[in-house]
Amino acid sequence: MIGMTVLGSTGSIGVSTLDVIAQHPEQYRAVAVTANRNVERLFEQCVAYRPDYAVMSDEMAAEQLQQKIQKAGIDVEVLAGAAGLEKVSVLPQCDQVMAAIVGAAGLLPTLAAAQAGKRVLLANKEALVMSGHLFMDAVREHGAELLPIDSEHNAIFQCMPERFNGLENSGIEQILLTGSGGPFRTVDRAELVNVTPDQACAHPNWVMGRKISVDSATMMNKGLELIEACWLFAAPPEKIQIVVHPQSIIHSMVAYIDGSILAQMGSPDMRIPIAHSMAWPQRMSSGVARLNLFDVARLDFERPDDARFPCLRLARAVAEQGGTAAAILNAANEIAVEAFLDETLGFMDISRVIEATLMDVSAQTTVSLGAVLQADAAAREVAQSHVERLKLI
């Protein structure tokens, strides 16, 4: 029996992971589930999956969950805060950790899982974006397995040789990272000024949380994925081409020096990469409806419009810069997106806050955990000041 800790189990990735676990009860068991403040959803998961542990990041939410657990007479130990998240990431009965906490909050428990030598199923791209060398070094030094869950990176992984040994040694010329272009791919740029949070969160193909949906709308999500791909596949930024593919059927491609291009295709359902990574190197059912190519009928590809999506330009520049620049970018984006979702910042101001923060906060070339956390904190403070300034305009 393979034990799994699901970090961020009440989000879309977490829910999908538990669904895959439920399809294979003879092979997998959820030993821990975690959430931020969603007490009702986490309690429902405790009733359904009977994990050993349940963790709430918020202390008051943990107390509420504890009361509900006791009243229901369920044998689940409730933990709280960052310490609780790290504890369930290194449990001896835990073999795999689904890292699906959104944003910088997922860094420390995900890093702890890598340091404990677990199989880390990485859906929290921000952890790798922020820590880069640190995270990859921890994976190597502690014998952990790192498998990407983002549909694009999982697709790239599936298109790589089984014994991948760097791009050049594997005969790889280029990585083609696809993205749908989000809900505003064809909207007149002048209209983007008036975009609302609900419009930004209405993704045409994927069902996702609000933060990542906004990132998709600005294409910052694709910028973060570019940085993540650099670390996962030891690839310089210039070897990664972003391709806008509106149908979201081809999840990414790998181009080889002999002229071959390998692509991974499938329905836009996150249970496919989740099941792939859980079972790797084997395969198992994901519960996803089969892709019907006759229904798809056509596949379109476009170059990304950097003028429409300035976040892409900023992310690529950060990927080339290195150091703690990516931590600054990520922190500024989180602050700006939160302000936009709170309707205190305009959609087009998201990139302005990020760019201004990158100019005001100096990136360090040496990356340590302390330097990453310091850059994150400094960038949040500066980004918030830019949000306040733009509120007045």
Q: Are residues 230 and 275 in the same domain?
A: yes
The structure tokens listed for 248 are 């979201």
CA of residue 224 relative to chain centroid, distance: 9
Give the tens place of pLDDT for each residue, 79-119: 999 999 999 999 999 999 999 998 888 999 999 999 999 99
Domain that holds residue 209: 155-296
Judgement on whether residues 335 and 198 belong to the same structural domain of the protein: no
Residue where a domain stops, chosen among 148, 183, 202: 148
321, 323, 324, 330 alpha-carbon torsion, rounded to 10°: 50
pLDDT exceeding 90 applies to what percent of the chain? 81
Q: Are residues 161 and 136 in the same domain?
A: no
Cβ distance 61 to 36 under 8 Å? Answer: yes
For the chain, give the mean pLDDT.
Answer: 93
More confident residue, 50 or 165: 50
Q: What is the pLDDT of residue 193?
A: 85
**Listed range (36-45, 89-98, 125-134, 229-238) with the worst mean pLDDT:** 125-134
Output the pLDDT for position 390. Answer: 87
C-alpha dist (Å) from residue 330 to 2, 5, 17, 131: 33, 25, 25, 11
Taking CB atoms within 8 Å and a gap of at least 24, the contacts of 184-187 are: 184/217, 184/308, 185/244, 185/246, 185/302
- Asked if 291 and 186 sit in the same domain, the reply is yes
In this model, does residue 205 exceed pLDDT 80?
Answer: no
Say what percent of the chain tops pLDDT 70: 98
**Domain count along the chain:** 3
Question: Dihedrals φ, ψ of 292, to 5°?
Answer: -105, 105
Same domain, 27 and 130: yes
Q: Which residue has the higher pLDDT, 222 or 205?
A: 222
Q: How confident is the model at residue 393 (pLDDT cuts 50, 70, 90)?
A: low
pLDDT of residue 206: 63
Whole-number Å distance between alpha carbons of 200 and 382: 25
332-370 burial code (b ≥16 CB/10 A, e <16): bbbbbbbbbbeeebbbebbbbbbbbbbebbebbeebeee
Q: What's at 298, amino acid-wise? A: R
| SS3 state of residue 120 | strand
Per-residue pLDDT band at 265 (split at 50, 70, 90): very high
Shared domain check, 330 and 283:
no
Average pLDDT over residues 50-76: 95
Contacts of 221 (CB under 8 A, 6+ apart): 179, 212, 215
Q: How far is 359 from 45, CA to CA, in rounded Å? A: 44
- 208 and 266 both lie in a single domain: yes
Find the CATH number of the domain harbouring 384.
Answer: 1.10.1740.10
Q: What is the pTM of this model?
A: 0.92
Q: Provide the pLDDT for residue 212.
A: 85
Say which CATH number the domain at 91 has: 3.40.50.720
Q: What is the mean pLDDT of residues 243-247?
A: 94
Q: What is the pLDDT of residue 259?
A: 97
pLDDT at 249 over 80: yes
